[in-house]
Amino acid sequence: MNVLLHTCCGPCASACVPRLKEAGHKVTMFFSNSNLDSKVEYEKRLEAAKTLAEHDGVELIADEYDHERWLEEVARGYENCREKGERCARCFRFNLARAAEKTAALKLDGFATSLTVSPHKVSKIIFSACEDPKFMHEDFKKKEGFKLSVKRAAELGLYRQKYCGCEFSKAAQEARKAPRIALTGGIACGKSLVAKMLGEMGVKTIDADDVVHELIPLEERKRLAKIVFKDEKARKELEARIHPLVKKRLDEELANSGNKTIAIIPLLFEKHWDGEYDIICSVVSDRELQIDRMMTTRGYTREEALARLAAQMPVEEKAAKSQHVIVNNLGVEELRRQVEEFKDRYYGR
């Protein structure tokens, strides 16, 4: 049979071409990957596919690269899907439809896809993404296909990508390896101002307090505040209900938005969430400054300010437990300098 091999990349195809040839087919590779996030990545993967085609003595046809169309037809509305989810099923549909069209145009007998080599892809989902009768349900990961692809790609020196292909898979990959960073600190030490400055410097912020506000409407918060103020058991029950939801939301945000995000968690240490973050930055100030700010900007009496301080972990302790400390004692310009230093160190220049 004359078979078109939809080729997602050189390494995967390196396990498919010999198997199709062994089965007696004449193979034409078809490199069609508008899902790739950039032309640079497209060219790198195409180059690897060309090396393989030349080595294995098969023809290679490169499809046009139209990532804008892919974004519009496949990804719009599905940006936040996890890998192996609905966006990927749509992506398979898009690429396999291109392969079906090419097979028909070249009057070939059938087509298969190298996508089934990857252990990260579910062959059943790939097979159900195309109903064309010429689509051959070849599961190339069987008989150690992936192992073969790793061996051949190394032998031929083929470029092997670190992420599936689209910008969403790239961001997820970066987020997996990116450190999880949190900002905390003492009351009236300037966390909000630091978060605002980080936002202006391009770091995305997600605030645990804002998440609580999203989850519980204002009137409900006021009602609960009256109850939990006097009832320790009720407070613990409420926290047990709310905290997992807040954590989940923070985790999703950190996982989905790459390595340019910081979680703002005022009571991070008090809630014992510190073990979940790789880098913790604490904003601290001298105690008298904290008291002064609480009295002047929040209208507390000195006694009320002292009571608030007594209810929190001392800033010295927070600083000792942190990987990075910003000291807000010397005014806005000095604070901005320290925030910039923090940003450059953990988020790049």
Residues that bind ligand SF4 (CB under 6 A): 35, 83, 87-88, 91, 164-166, 168-169
Place of tokens 């985790």: 251
Structure tokens at 259: 């390595």
- Provide, rounded to whole angstroms, the least separation between the CB of residue 164 and ligand SF4: 3
- Provide, rounded to whole angstroms, the least separation between the CB of residue 88 and ligand SF4: 3
- Provide, rounded to whole angstroms, the least separation between the CB of residue 85 and ligand SF4: 8
| Cβ(113)–Cβ(27) below 8 Å | no
- Provide, rounded to whole angstroms, the least separation between the CB of residue 161 and ligand SF4: 10
Task: Return the number of other C-beta atoms located less than 10 Å from residue 137's C-beta.
Answer: 13
249: left (phi over 0), alpha (psi -120 to 50) or beta: alpha
- Provide, rounded to whole angstroms, the least separation between the CB of residue 230 and ligand SF4: 51
Of 215, 149, 137, 136, residue with least CA distance to 8 = 149
Structure tokens at 287: 């105690």
Instruction: Give the C-alpha separation, 324 to 201, whole Å.
Output: 18
Our CB check for ligand SF4 shows the closer of 67 and 343 to be: 67
| Identity of residue 113 | T
Q: Dihedral angle at the C-alpha atoms of 120, 123, 125, 128, nearest 10 degrees?
A: 160
Our CB check for ligand SF4 shows the closer of 28 and 35 to be: 35
Our CB check for ligand SF4 shows the closer of 130 and 166 to be: 166
- Provide, rounded to whole angstroms, the least separation between the CB of residue 92 and ligand SF4: 7
Our CB check for ligand SF4 shows the closer of 97 and 242 to be: 97
Our CB check for ligand SF4 shows the closer of 58 and 125 to be: 125
Structure tokens at 14: 């390196």
Our CB check for ligand SF4 shows the closer of 83 and 251 to be: 83
| Cβ(328)–Cβ(283) below 8 Å | yes
